[in-house]
Structure 1
Amino acid sequence: MPQLTISSAFDSGAIDVVSLADHRDIQLKIRPDNASEFAQWFHFRLQGAAGLPVNMRFLNAGSSAYPKGWAGYRVAASYDRQHWFRIPTAFDGQEMTAQLTPAAQSVYFAYFEPYSYERHLDLIGFATESDKVAVEHLGLTLDGHDMTLLRITDEDSTTPPAQKKQVWLTARQHPGETMAEWFVEGFLERLLDSDDPVSRVLLSKCVFNVVPNMNPDGAMRGNLRTNAAGANLNREWQAPSLTRSPEVFLVRQKMLEIGVDLFLDAHGDEALPYNFVAGCEGNPIYGARLEGLENAFKSAWMATCPDFQDTEGYDRDQPGEGNLTIATNWVGQQFDCLSYTIEMPFKDNALLPDDEYGWSGERSKKLGASLLLPVLAVADKLR
């Protein structure tokens, strides 16, 4: 009987091992965030099981943060950490089980295709090579990671700087929602393509302020939803602090300095197998102008990207019931601007399913690239 080992002592690694005595009954528990009770993200490496039928039981799946997220979900797996695929997975309401007969002695499993801190730094490096990009250091997180802002525009355009629209895109307030940074990568690759006519027009009209990773501490620690202090950053926007939520404090401070005309915050949803947006219709300031901008944005995205839809999503807030601790609501209220949360699935897009890969990093990149068209559709109407 070969010796099995499981490790998670690496970037975004997270799992608790209960039993490795039998490859047909590997018992695991999903580890909670380091300073909170949120438990849904996992990422680990199994060694020694080549050619063996492996059955993994996630014993506490039924008491995780979002148990409804396991219905129809499939675990992601990879041998080389570059190419990820989905494996057979089932959930009985209490335990989640996943099966694979590994083709190699080393195989990785994750809740979703990871986006490493090294890749994050590579993304910053890629952007830095463009003369359209200024890289700004906003400050440090509690663990000492850089909070990096990319400011992107065409300085040679004829539009006066004061007339350019300030467009903001943030991602990974919830660090386990790694599809959000894949989304940003695809967005930046197209925005910085000098041969793309949509990009050229947008960069002449707008300044894009992009924070690819709002929560590097949580990402490195293997957290689903919180930072090093246990703060859910997307509930900190009304009163952030440098001691609890410096990530939000620093970004919010920059927003107040330069303004916001359009805000987009990329996320992942555990339960819904669709791409959709959630707005700020519950805000006191919400009215016909913002509703018109929302409809124009959604219509343009649906018309140009079959992966996006507006039928399935969250229930709309009632007037006056918007939660102003959430980024989309606070920014929309503070700046009287079009403000949207973008949600992608952990599972698959039910409208265009992929049996082998499900929703993936590459598909998230394609969706990010498609974002330029709805932005173009509303750019001249933002103020």
Structure 2
Amino acid sequence: MHISCNNQFAQLSLLDCFASNFENGNLDAARETVPQAEWDLEIRGDTNNSKYRVWFYFAVSNVKNKQVCIFNVINFSKGRSLYREGMTPLVRSTKRTHWQRIPSRNSFYYKSPKHKMNYVLSFIFEFDNEDEEYFFAYSFPYTYSDLQKYLYQIESRKLSFCKRELLCKTILQRRVDLLVIGKDPRGTRNSLSQIESRRGERRRVVFVSARVHPGESPASYMCHGLIEFLLSSTPLAQLLRKHITFMIVPMLNPDGVFLGNYRTAFCGLDLNRQ
């Protein structure tokens, strides 16, 4: 059986087995090579730029208890990967929502003679509850909605030293947010390196951004941790806020993140090369 889909928001299987029709999802096709046991999977290329194929995030349902499956991701666009260094894909389910890594003994990254010596990621998984839906991902997902929820929580705290601003909107009308953290976040900006407070003090600026490449989801977790620290009441955080203004763009490419792209924005461009 070969299941193919050119629309990332459509269901991938008439049998309701595979899906990527959710935020940040990516899977283009699945071919059953051994009935009910092994599948070759293809990643959808980035929107309007199909040469980038690295990020995957998909769901599997309609499984059987104790069913063991082998999944082969066969069309990565590059061979260099942390999978070569021991990284493994992630899994969660509808009832067990915390991501866990596939054990290294069940994950393999190798050049496959069956696939023109391209690099293939193969991993083995045993399903244990036929009533659950299972999700598999390249790395820990951190979605646009995750960020918006977090920024709303920050905004609701009404901190005097933190201001959320709308920097701009994307082609698809998603927010590109800016967080300004410091002693006087509503001061006047004279340059990228300095800001003038309402009392005329000049303050140094530190600019931080994340997720220019949507597939680099660990950057969002690092940025999240940095924000948490800078908003904390620890003496060091208070000292930094007193002398420095931090300008943070937590997600530079929200369209790419939402669409499940690896490197580009909706327009197909790598924003880090513009």
TM bracket (short chain): 0.7 to 0.9
In structure 1, the residue corresponding to 2:37 is in which secondary structure?
coil
Specify which of 136, 146, 150 is matched with residue 179 of structure 2. 150
TM-score normalised per structure 2: 0.78
Is 1:91 aligned to 2:109, yes or no?
yes
Q: Where does 1:20-99 land on structure 2 (aligned, <5 Å)?
A: 20=32, 22-36=35-49, 37-49=51-63, 50-61=65-76, 64-71=77-84, 72-80=86-94, 82-87=97-102, 88-93=106-111, 94=118, 95-99=120-124
Q: Deviations over 1:307-330 (max 9, x none)?
A: xxxxxxxxxxxxxxxxxxxxxxxx
How far the C-alpha of 1:162 sits from its partner, in A, is: 3.6
Residue of structure 2 in register with 1:291 after alignment:
none
Distance 1:215 1:68 in 2: 22
How far the C-alpha of 1:73 sits from its partner, in A, is: 2.8
Structure with the bigger percentage of strand: 2
How far the C-alpha of 1:138 sits from its partner, in A, is: 1.6
Distance 2:200 2:213 in 1: 33
Q: Deviations over 1:5-42 (max 9, x none)?
A: 00000000001223247232112012210111111000
In structure 2, the residue corresponding to 1:164 is in which secondary structure?
strand
How far the C-alpha of 1:65 sits from its partner, in A, is: 2.9
Distance 1:134 1:92 in 2: 47
Q: Where does 1:227-242 land on structure 2 (aligned, <5 Å)?
A: 227-236=265-274
Q: Is the 8 A contact 1:13 1:42 kept in 2?
A: yes
Q: Which moved more, 1:183-192 or 1:216-225?
A: 183-192
Residue of structure 2 in register with 1:175 after alignment:
214
In structure 2, the residue corresponding to 1:213 is in which secondary structure?
coil
Residue of structure 2 in register with 1:110 after alignment:
137
Q: 1:60 to 1:179 in 2, by over 3 A?
A: same
Q: Which amino acid aligns with 1:113?
A: F
Q: Which amino acid aligns with 1:131?
A: S
Q: Which amino acid aligns with 1:164?
A: R
Is 1:6 aligned to 2:35, yes or no?
no
Q: Which moved more, 1:162-171 or 1:69-78?
A: 69-78
Distance 2:45 2:67 in 1: 29
In structure 2, the residue corresponding to 1:92 is in which secondary structure?
strand
Structure with the bigger percentage of helix: 1
Distance 1:23 1:116 in 2: 31
How far the C-alpha of 1:4 sits from its partner, in A, is: 6.0
TM-score normalised per structure 1: 0.57
Q: Which amino acid aligns with 2:108?
A: A
Residue of structure 1 in register with 2:125 after alignment:
100
Specify which of 209, 212, 215 is matched with residue 250 of structure 2. 212
Calculate percent identity across the aligned residue pairs: 27
Q: 1:66 to 1:234 in 2, by over 3 A?
A: farther
Residue of structure 1 in register with 2:4 after alignment:
none
Q: Which amino acid aligns with 1:192?
A: L
Distance 1:165 1:23 in 2: 60
Q: Is the 8 A contact 2:38 2:70 kept in 1?
A: yes
Distance 1:186 1:16 in 2: 33
Unaligned runs of 5+ in 2: 1-14, 112-117, 186-196
Q: Where does 1:116-195 land on structure 2 (aligned, <5 Å)?
A: 116-128=143-155, 129=157, 130-155=159-184, 162-194=201-233
Q: Which moved more, 1:17-26 or 1:52-61?
A: 17-26
Q: Is the 8 A contact 1:168 1:208 kept in 2?
A: yes
Distance 1:82 1:192 in 2: 27
Q: Is the 8 A contact 1:172 1:178 kept in 2?
A: yes
Q: How many residues align?
A: 229
Considering only aligned residues, what root-mean-square deviation do their CA atoms show, in Å?
Answer: 1.9
In structure 1, the residue corresponding to 2:222 is in which secondary structure?
helix
How far the C-alpha of 1:66 sits from its partner, in A, is: 4.2
Q: Deviations over 1:36-63 (max 9, x none)?
A: 11110000001122420011011223xx
